[in-house]
Chain A
Amino acid sequence: MLDDLKDAPALKRVEESLRRRFGAALLAASFEKGELQFEAARETLSGVLEFLKTGLGFESLTDMIGLDLVASRPEGAGRFAVLYQLYKFPEALRVRLRVAVDDGEALPSVTPLFRAADWMEREVFDMFGIRFEGHPGLTRIYLPDEFEGFPLRKDFPLEGRERGL
């Protein structure tokens, strides 16, 4: 299991490029179990992703993951986090970008950069209620439009709130 970034020279170069470009705006970087993850602030999200895609060649957005950290976040941190899992094809490099966002805050939509983000952002909105500004059509994707509540929030019960069926 790789836990030291110096064992992964390609990823080390990625981290160094990001630090040179963004300096203090790059909030944290960690390397565990062979995976490089770093954190950026909401305001710099689009810039960081743009640099990763066009500057460093991470052309593919593999997945977007929403997290509800209401039970486990440190004091003062945002309630939610959204993770962007990126991929660079030729060298098989993976990188994960984490952004914190609070209840009621919105994130910029990354659909202009990654077309795949269209449905991914709709899914995060459907399950968590996080809004994405600039999305071409932010509606629910799985649940009916009239459904109330956001199921993957930790305060939503597994069986749901509606009676009847």
Chain B
Amino acid sequence: MNSPEDKHPFILTRLDQAITWAQKNSLWPLGSGLACCAIEMIATAAARFDIARFGMELFRASPRQADLFIVAGTLTRKMAPIVRRLWEQMPDPKWVVAMGNCAVGGGPFPTYSVVQGVDRVIPVDVYIAGCPPSPQGLLHGLMILQKKISLSHPTKDIGLRHAR
């Protein structure tokens, strides 16, 4: 088994590219929206902005079948354990996008009941600012996520996991 410091073998980098190509073009978001941003997320999935061209039209009701969690809206303290549980139920590999100012950092609500950013509860891959971000903004953020996925090395991660 190669140690992580060695250069990754050629065949595995090609395999990485193939795997990440498949992953980034078929992300299945969890059908979960918290507040106003969820409406713009649905508008992005509707006919005009058509999230299906990115392969993401299949919003799953169950977290067990989803690999992308778009946290769209304000996270309150009451809802925080539930968001944590949903994220834990999603199988690896999974990604999280914080959509909107409330998910990024509490938004316009510095109050007694709002969590100031969803990254206090779950790890976030991409932050999209806006109140709400327009569908174009959400799609831009998702394209950044796709770029991030294409730069990752799934075979290396699998190797590390077995080595532990």
Partner of B121, one of A144, A158, A162, A165: A165
A151 to B111, CA, bound (A): 10
Q: Does B149 contact A (CB under 8 A)?
A: no
A158 interface neighbour in B77, B80, B111, B115, Cβ under 8 Å: B111
The distance in angstroms between the C-alpha atoms of A156 and B111, with both chains bound, is 11
Interface string of B135-161 (1 = CB under 8 A from A): 000000000000000000000000000
* A65 CB-CB contact with B under 8 Å: no
**Interface flags, A129-162, vs B, CB<8A=1, else 0:** 0000000000000111000000100001111111
Interface residues of B in 79-96 (CB under 8 A from A): 80
The smallest beta-carbon distance between A153 and chain B, in angstroms, is: 12
Contact B111 A160 (CB under 8 A): yes
Contact A160 B80 (CB under 8 A): no
Q: Which residue of B lies closest to A144 (CB)?
A: B78
Tell me whether A165 and B112 are in contact (CB under 8 A). Answer: no
Q: Known: A144-B77, A165-B80. Contact between A159 and B112, CB under 8 A?
A: yes
What are the interface flags for A78-103 relative to B under an 8 Å C-beta threshold, 1 for contact and 0 otherwise? 00000000000000000000000000
Interface residues in A92-136 by Cβ distance below 8 A to B read none
Bin the interface of chain A by size.
Answer: 10 to 19
Quote the shortest CB–CB distance from B57 to chain A (angstroms): 33
Complex alpha-carbon distance, A120 and B48, angstroms: 41
Which residues of B are found within 8 Å of A143, using beta-carbon distances?
Answer: 78, 113
Q: For the side of the interface on B, what is the size category?
A: 10 to 19
Asked, given contacts A165-B120, A165-B121, whether A151 binds B80 with beta carbons under 8 Å apart, the answer is: no
Question: Which A residues lie within 8 Å of B116 (CB)?
Answer: 165
Q: Which residues of A lie under 8 Å from residue B80 when comparing CB positions? A: 165
Chain A residues lying within 8 Å of B112, measured Cβ to Cβ, are 151, 156-162
Q: Which residue of chain A lies nearest to B75 when distances are taken between CB atoms in the complex?
A: A165
Verify if B110 is at the interface (C-beta below 8 Å from A): yes
CB closest residue in chain A, given B112: A160
Complex CA distance for A142 and B78, rounded to whole angstroms: 9
Give A159 to B111 CA distance when docked, in angstroms.
4
The minimal Cβ–Cβ distance linking A122 to chain B, given in whole angstroms, is 15
Chain A minimum-CB-distance residue to B78: A144
> Which residues of chain A are near B111, meaning CB under 8 Å?
158-160
Among residues of A, the one whose C-beta sits closest to the C-beta of B120 is: A165
Query: Interface centre among B80, B111, B115, B120, by most A CB within 10 Å?
Result: B111
What are 22 pairs between A and B in contact, CB < 8 Å? A142-B113, A143-B78, A144-B77, A144-B78, A151-B113, A156-B112, A158-B110, A158-B111, A159-B110, A159-B111, A159-B112, A160-B111, A160-B112, A160-B113, A161-B112, A162-B77, A162-B112, A165-B77, A165-B80, A165-B116, A165-B120, A165-B121
Interface residue ranges, A against B (CB under 8 Å): 142-144, 151, 156-162, 165
The interface of chain B, by Cβ under 8 A from chain A, is 77-78, 80, 110-113, 115-116, 120-121
